[in-house]
Amino acid sequence: MKPLHNTSDTIHGTNLITGALGFVGTHLARSLLAAGQPVVGMGRHLPGDPPPDRVGEFRLTGESGDLPGALGYEGESGRFLYLPLALEEPGPVADLLATLKPATVYHLAAQSSARVSFTDPQDTFTSNVMGTLNLLEAVKGLPDGQRPVMVNVGSCEEYGPQDGATEPLTEDSPLNPLSPYAVSKVTQTLLCRQYARSWNLPVVMVRSFSHTGPGQDTRFAFPSFAQQVARAEAGLESPEIATGDLSAVRDFLDVRDVVEAYRLVALKGRAGEIYNVCSGVPLTIEAGLNILLSGSTRPLSTRIDPDRCRPSDTPHLVGDATRLRGETGWAPRHDFKNTLGELLEAARKELA
C-alpha cells in the first residue's frame, strides 16, 4: 500500500479499530459513533472474500472519497470508513497510522477461537502475535506527540487453570495458558507491556473474560445454542442441542458492557497497566444453556458432541475487576439473562 494522499482533515484524531467488522468491533464502532466520535476500521480478508455488504447495524455504501481505498459503512448510529488491510503487512500499517494520526487505536483484530487454534496454530500466531508486533512498531515509528493511546485486547484464557485459593483472578494471578490461542494472547500482552516500558508507548492492556450478544459467531457456545434452539423450534433440526463440555465455569458479560470498558480504559487507563474486564459472577455453560432452553417454545434435549470439546480446557475462570472499577468507574449495566434472551430472539429473526 502506497502512502496515502489527499486525506480529509476530518479523519485526523479519529478512533482506529482493528478487526472493526468483527463481533466486538461493530459494537465498539456503534458505541463510539453514538458518542459523536469518528471511526476508521480495518481488517483482514482472504482472497476472493470481500468485505460484507452488511454487518450488525451497518450496511456497505461503497467507496469513500475521504480516505483513498476506504469503503463506507453506515448505520443508525452513524458512518465509519473501513480499509481492507491486514496487520500482517507492516509497511501499509505504518503508512496508515502516519496518514490517519489517530487519537486512539483499539486493537481487536485476532484469531479469537481457542478451539480453532488447536487445528490452525500457525494462523493464530501470525494474526495475534505478528499482527500486534507490526502495530506496535507502527505506533513506535510516530513522533512522540502523535502517538495514539493503544488499547490491546487480551483474554482471560491467559490465566488458565489456577489453584482454587487464587480465585477470583486478579491481574497479578499467574499465567498458565492451555491452548495455542491462549499462548498467543500471553505473548501479545507481554509484547505490549514491553513496548510500553521500553519505548514509553501509551499502551494499555485489557484481559477480557467471556462475553456475548447478538451478532457473535456461532463458533461460540451461546450463539450456537441459540441458533440450534431457533432451528429446532422451526422444525429445521432435530429437537436435540449439540454441546461441548457443559461443566466449565465462566465469567460472562454483555458485549455492550465490554466495549464501554474499552472506551473508559482508553480515557482513564494507565500506560503499561493491565485491566481485567469481567463481572466476577460465576456461571456454568450448562446454566446458561438452561436459560436458553427455558425460553424455547418446544421441549428440547441435549447431547455431547466430541467435535465441540477442546483437547484441553480450563474448568473455572472467574475474574476480579477491582482495578478497572476503581480507576475508571466502570460497572456492567446489562443483565446476562436478558442478553441470552436477545441472542435467542436474534436467532429466530434470522430464520423469519
- Is residue 4 scored above 80 in pLDDT? no
CATH topology of domain 221-251+280-317+334-351: UDP-galactose 4-epimerase; domain 1 (3.90.25)
pLDDT at 8: 44
pLDDT at 22: 95
Looking at residues 206-231, what average pLDDT do you find?
95
Residues 110 and 26: their CA atoms lie apart, in Å, by: 14
> Global pTM?
0.93
Q: How far is CA 48 from CA 21, 44, 45, 51, in A?
A: 17, 12, 8, 10
Residues 210 and 330: their CA atoms lie apart, in Å, by: 17
Count Cα neighbours of 50 within 13 Å in the Cβ-side half-sphere: 8
Residues 340 and 213: their CA atoms lie apart, in Å, by: 7
pLDDT digits (tens, 9 = 90+) for 72-128: 999 999 999 999 999 999 999 999 999 999 999 999 999 988 889 999 999 999 999
pLDDT digits (tens, 9 = 90+) for 129-161: 999 999 999 999 999 989 999 999 999 999 999
Residues 174 and 233: their CA atoms lie apart, in Å, by: 44
Least confident range from 61-65, 162-166, 311-315: namely 162-166
pLDDT digits (tens, 9 = 90+) for 239-275: 999 999 999 999 999 999 999 999 999 999 999 999 9
Assigned C-alpha cell, 256: 455492550
The count of residues in the chain is 352
| Domain spans of the chain, in order of start | 10-212+252-277, 221-251+280-317+334-351
Coil/strand/helix, residue 211: strand
pLDDT band of residue 11 (cuts 50, 70, 90) is low
- Is residue 208 scored above 80 in pLDDT? yes
Residue 10 backbone dihedrals phi, psi, to 5 degrees: -70, -15
- Is residue 164 scored above 90 in pLDDT? no
182 exposure class (CB count in 10 Å sphere: 0-12, 13-18, 19+): buried
Query: Does the domain formed by 10-212+252-277 have CATH 3.40.50.720?
Result: yes
